[in-house]
Structures are given as structure tokens and as C-alpha cells.
Structure 1
Amino acid sequence: SLPPDPPRLECIAITCNSLKLKWGNGTTNHVLSASASTEPSTTTPRSITYIIEMEGKDGSFNCIYTGTTYSHKINKLQENNQYNFRICAKNDSGAGLWSEMYTFTTSKAPPNALKAPNINEITSTSCVFNWQPHKPLGRDPISYILQLQIYRKENDYTEIYHGELTSYRATNLEAGVDYRARVCAIRSTSEGLALNSPFSPATHFVLPRPEDLAAALSVTRTSNNHLLNDDNHSEQKLSFLNRYRLICYRKLKSIQLFESRTLTDQQWAVVIFVGFTLLAIFIAIFANFMYSKYTNGSSISVDNAFSSSSSSTSFSPGIKK
């Protein structure tokens, strides 16, 4: 028998990052050659091996599947991209011809789930919801849906905002009621499709009653006044401490600079030369002083001896001849 002809390739499932291909239906799904059609075929579907190749970015084809099944899923693809495939069948006689080129395109990806919305500017009847914007997805615009639910009273969420802003002020709310809020992003494609992201985790909040809000404001003002008074009393202490720290820092800095200062070889030579010069001068002065002292002492002793001998000669008795 001759090698079989290639089967028809179909795409039965498309996502933003995968394609599922199918060929045949579990029976002999290809047309045998005309010369082999007159002879009885002993080929069974399980004896046929299928080979699928996908075209790469450089134009070359790479094998992505070899087997006897009739479907295969290709993962790790990029969104909104075209991919080219070809298939051939192989039996004991060898591999048949390659099929024509089949082109399939992945879909666009929906946005990712957002983080739970934040709540600020709270009053007894209103608050402001804020959420992080979704990263851009090509040129497709991104809008948002904000939903609100009365916790443990309503089973379904109610849509309170739909637009492209990332904040919304909700009014006419009830104080002391448990609310839950969540948000999702919507990608509007150029083909007219709306791709929704999963909803974010819900944010649970309760608006304060007017009397509770007034009490909280009064406590806040009182604490602020106490803080201001404490700040006034501690300013003098802080100023003294800051001055003391500044003086200590300057001294420590000067000590560090002195310790870290190093002398060059020329500077060391000058220091040694000046030291030897001062030492020589000191030795010369000391030697001169000692020589002068010794000379003065010797002259005084000679003068004393001469004066004593003169006095003894003048007072001795005369001898008559």
C-alpha cells in the first residue's frame, strides 16, 4: 500500500493562549491514492501515525506532535496571533504528502482580576470607592463595573457604576448597614466583543451613624489639641537636646576627620626634617649652656685661688737681711 493522504485539520477550541486541533473521527479519515483503491486495504486507523508541524517566526516548520490520536492542544501561545500548521499521515509504507497550510488565530485575553476597592471620604450616607487601573491591553479601551450588596440581606449585587473612571462616590447609603463592594474590568475589542475579568474580592464596610461620627470627630479634635500642647512643652527640651546633639556630632566629626587624615611621603619627610632640626638646635643650646657653665666655674675657682695667694703674701712677716 502507498502512504496515506493527509487528513483535514480543524480547530475545535480557541483561547487567548491555546489552540486545540482535531483531524479525523476515529476511522479512516483520509483518501487513499487511486492506484491503491482497487486493492483491498489492510490498514487500520491505529496503524497510522500523524505528524503536525507549526511554522516558526523564522519561517521554518517545527514538529509539535507525533502520534496516533486525533486531537492535540497547543499551549503557551500569544493572544490575537495567527499560527500556521500542516499535517501528514504515516504508515508502514512511509510518510505521505504534507497538507495545505492551515491558519488559526488565538482570541484576545480578558483583563486580569483587580484588587479589592478602597473606601475613603466616609460620611453617614456616602463614601468614595477607589480601585487601581488595569494595565493597557493594546488599543482596546478598558471600562469598569462597580457592584454593591447589602450583606446578609440581598443575594445579588447591584451595579452602581459603569465607566472608564477608577473612582466613584456612592450616595444615599444607610448608616449602620453592612455593605460589600466589588469591581471588575471590561475590555472592549475592535470586533465588538466585551471581555470581562473576574470580579475582585469584596470589600466589607459599615458607614458610621451621625452621632458616632460626631463623637469620633470630637475625640480627634481633643487628641489633636493635646498633641499641640505636648508639642509646645517639648519644643524647648527638643531644642536643647538638638543643640547638644549637634555639638556632639561636630566634635565626633572633627575627631573622625583627624583620625582619618593620612600624610604623604613628602609630608612625612618634612616632619622628620623639622623634628631633627629642632632636636639639633636643642642639643646645640644645651651644649653651649653646659660649656658656658663649665667655663665660668673654672674661671671663678682660678680667681679665688689667685686672690687667696695674694692675700697670704701681703700679710706674711718680713725677713731682715
Structure 2
Amino acid sequence: MNALGDGSFSSALNVATLPPRPDAPQFVGFTNLTANSVRIQWARPDPPSTSASPRLGEEEITPVTATAIITAASPVGRAKPLYYTLQLSQDADPEWIVIYEGTETSYKATRLQENSSYSFRVCASNVSGPGVYSTVRTITTPRLPPPVVRGKQWQCVCVCMP
């Protein structure tokens, strides 16, 4: 509105905010443990609480009489994580190595060494980026059983003297 009167309205503008980054997944199992492999399983993170309700109503834009009507859709919670990143560290090595990136919630880690400790952590990522890593879990691979010892076969020849 100005001295000449009301102008035409502008077109509507639709905006959306990104969902929050996901919480940390939780490990649910380390199964099929052998001397050189283990299956690791984790659970999807819980969605965050939606305690804050969207604001609806009219907001004053400038000190003049212009107002904007703001409407919001109901909160959707969190977007489904797009992928998981699983990392491994061996024998308290501070370096973390990515061993899996994908959408599955389990992975079989192979090429492990017998009688060694491995630490694992996992994080979930969505369109907003990676979330925090899970609590670190450590496993120790068992020793391989000793090889079967096969003795040399001996034949005994007895010689009898008259």
C-alpha cells in the first residue's frame, strides 16, 4: 500500500527447512564371529521428538501495514537416513577406516586377523549431512585352531637271527 493505493499481491513462496541430522544408530549384534570375519548389525536411529509445534499466523513484515500469512504443514519428523558409514579401528589404532557405506543395517567384515581386537562405530546420514557416531564397540577375533599334526608313518621290520 502506498499513496496510490493497494498494489497486486506477489505470488506465493513455498519454502522448506532441512530435517535435523540423524541421531547415532545403536549396535544390535556382532554375530558369526570367526578368526577372520564378523557380521555387524545396527538399528536405525529413533526419530527426534517433535516437541516444538510449527508457528501459524500473521507476521508483520515492515513497520507499514504489510502483513504476511505464514502457514506450515504438520511436522514430518526426520527424513529417512540415506546411508550409513561403518568404520573400523584395529588394536586401539587411532585411525578409523571406512569399511562400508550404504543403506543396509548390517555388514559382514572380512579379512580380519585372528586373535586381534577391532573397534567399530557407525553413523547415519541424511540430506542434512552425517549425524554423530555411535558408541564404539570392540570385539576380539578368536585364534584359529592349531593345524592337525600328522606323524610320519613308520614301518617296523623285525629281523630274527637263528
Q: Same fold (TM over 0.5)?
A: yes
Q: CA deviation at 1:86?
A: 0.8
Query: Could you list the per-position Cα deviations for residues 122-145 of structure 1 after superposition, in whole angstroms to 9, with x for gaps in the alignment?
Result: 57xxxxxxxxxxxxxxxxxxxxxx
Kept after mapping to 1: 8 A contact 2:115/2:143? yes
Among 2, 18, 22, which residue is 1:4 paired with? 22
Are residues 1:94 and 2:134 paired? no
Letter of the structure 2 residue corresponding to residue 33 of structure 1: P
Are residues 1:43 and 2:61 paired? no
Cα gap change, 1:75 to 1:122, in 2 (>3 Å)? farther
Cα gap change, 1:97 to 1:114, in 2 (>3 Å)? same
Q: CA deviation at 1:107?
A: 1.3
Q: CA deviation at 1:35?
A: 4.2
Kept after mapping to 1: 8 A contact 2:47/2:78? no
Q: CA deviation at 1:115?
A: 3.8
Q: Which residue of 2 aligns with 1:33?
A: 48
Letter of the structure 1 residue corresponding to residue 38 of structure 2: L
Greater gyration radius: 1
Query: What is the alpha-carbon distance in structure 1 between the residues aligned to residue 105 and residue 42 of structure 2?
Result: 5
Letter of the structure 1 residue corresponding to residue 143 of structure 2: K
Letter of the structure 2 residue corresponding to residue 108 of structure 1: R
Are residues 1:54 and 2:88 paired? yes
Query: Could you list the per-position Cα deviations for residues 102-157 of structure 1 after superposition, in whole angstroms to 9, with x for gaps in the alignment?
Result: 1111112112234465132257xxxxxxxxxxxxxxxxxxxxxxxxxxxxxxxxxx
Letter of the structure 2 residue corresponding to residue 8 of structure 1: Q
Query: What is the alpha-carbon distance in structure 1 between the residues aligned to residue 150 and residue 105 of structure 2?
Result: 42
Kept after mapping to 2: 8 A contact 1:2/1:36? no
Alignment root-mean-square deviation, CA: 2.7
Q: Which has the higher helix share?
A: 1
Q: Which residue of 1 aligns with 2:69?
A: none
Query: What is the alpha-carbon distance in structure 2 between the residues aligned to residue 34 and residue 52 of structure 1?
Result: 25
Query: What is the alpha-carbon distance in structure 2 between the residues aligned to residue 105 and residue 84 of structure 1?
Result: 9
Cα gap change, 1:110 to 1:56, in 2 (>3 Å)? closer
Query: What is the alpha-carbon distance in structure 2 between the residues aligned to residue 52 and residue 110 of structure 1?
Result: 29
Letter of the structure 1 residue corresponding to residue 49 of structure 2: A
Letter of the structure 2 residue corresponding to residue 2 of structure 1: P
Are residues 1:13 and 2:53 paired? no
Query: What is the alpha-carbon distance in structure 2 between the residues aligned to residue 69 and residue 6 of structure 1?
Result: 15
Q: Which has the higher strand share?
A: 2
Gaps of 5+ in 1: 124-216, 222-321
Query: What is the alpha-carbon distance in structure 2 between the residues aligned to residue 72 and residue 115 of structure 1?
Result: 38
Q: CA deviation at 1:99?
A: 1.0
Letter of the structure 2 residue corresponding to residue 30 of structure 1: P
Kept after mapping to 1: 8 A contact 2:90/2:116? no
Query: What is the alpha-carbon distance in structure 2 between the residues aligned to residue 52 and residue 5 of structure 1?
Result: 15
The number of aligned residues is: 120
Within 5 Å, which residues of 2 pair with 1:143-222?
A: none
Query: Could you list the per-position Cα deviations for residues 263-321 of structure 1 after superposition, in whole angstroms to 9, with x for gaps in the alignment?
Result: xxxxxxxxxxxxxxxxxxxxxxxxxxxxxxxxxxxxxxxxxxxxxxxxxxxxxxxxxxx
RCO greater where, 1 or 2, for CA within 8 Å and sep 6 or more? 2
Among 81, 96, 106, which residue is 2:116 paired with? 81
Letter of the structure 1 residue corresponding to residue 37 of structure 2: S
Give the % identical residues: 28
